[in-house]
Chain A
């Protein structure tokens, strides 16, 4: 599987100002998406938009309606505010069937050394999506050491 990863170690706006408040968590997930793979392997990508005067992220258009049998790229990005250590990024797709929540797909995207402050993103091509039509939940997780932060979004499998 191909892993897409990028890290930006210093962002000007992240410098702690005098009197800055303490973050309540080590980092903040801001994106978990499924999108089609790029046959030209240009996206997802950081800093590839010509002429931009800020750091940039470009991803294939996020999709909420996913077709079974298709392969998607699962991408997570987060803002590390205070954590230095091992970060592990993962995703899973779960579906509630009756009273049971079943995991349809998922796995680790990337395990790496986080340094704060920074913005990180990584994605992975999942397996062909199983045939399990209906609403499901796509969840991204980042483990900052032993502290986990999650972000979930609703998807529809067809």
Chain B
């Protein structure tokens, strides 16, 4: 299952670099989340809250502890400020095992054509989580062409 969102920004966004701040990124990752896969398939969802007056993103409870054998859904949200072209969203879970960084689970969630002044949300249902108990890092990766933005969140696997 994949979910995609495109919401045009309500305010004009400027991509001009700011004095003293260096080059402005063309886009940003805003969240990477993991929650239980919904058996009913209702979440993740865009604008799933009845009566809300803003565009909204609904997910299963975001978790910091994951259990081997369970099925989880991973989501990435991102905002495109000024880039036109190919964007991707992906995630991985890594652990340091015997001083070596090891990928426990990962996937490219989406590859798509993005454009300025938009926000996007993508999600994917993952296979059962492998058993690898211990501290880990959930990383969300959003690319805007060759530029990559990353968000790392500590989690624990059991």
How extensive is the interface on chain B, given as a class? 35 or more
User: Smallest Cβ distance from A43 to chain B, in angstroms?
Assistant: 5
Q: Once the chains bind, are A30 and B153 in contact (CB under 8 Å)?
A: yes
Residues of B close to A29: CB separation below 8 A? 64, 153
Assess whether B28 is interfacial by the CB under 8 Å rule. Answer: yes
Q: Which of B5, B20, B29, B64 interacts with A97 by CB under 8 Å?
A: B20
Interface stretch, picked from A59-67, A85-93, A101-109, A122-130, is A59-67
Complex Cα distance, B85 from A116, in Å, reads 45
A62 and B77 in contact, given A54-B61, A78-B64, A154-B28 (Cβ under 8 angstroms): yes
Complex Cα distance, B156 from A28, in Å, reads 9
Q: Mark A120-158, 1 if CB is under 8 A from B, else 0.
A: 000000000000011100000000000000010111101
Q: Which of B11, B42, B51, B133 interacts with A53 by CB under 8 Å?
A: B42
Q: How many residues of A contact B (CB 8 A)?
A: 64
Residue of A nearest to B133 (CB): A21
| Complex interface residues of chain A between 44 and 65 (CB less than 8 A to chain B) | 45-46, 48-65
Residues of A close to B43: CB separation below 8 A? 49, 52, 54, 56
Residues of B close to A67: CB separation below 8 A? 11
Residues of B close to A59: CB separation below 8 A? 56-57
Complex Cα distance, B156 from A74, in Å, reads 25
Interface residues of A, Cβ cutoff 8 Å to B: 8, 11, 13-14, 17, 20-21, 23-25, 27-31, 33, 35-43, 45-46, 48-65, 67, 70, 77-79, 81, 97-98, 117, 119, 133-135, 151, 153-156, 158
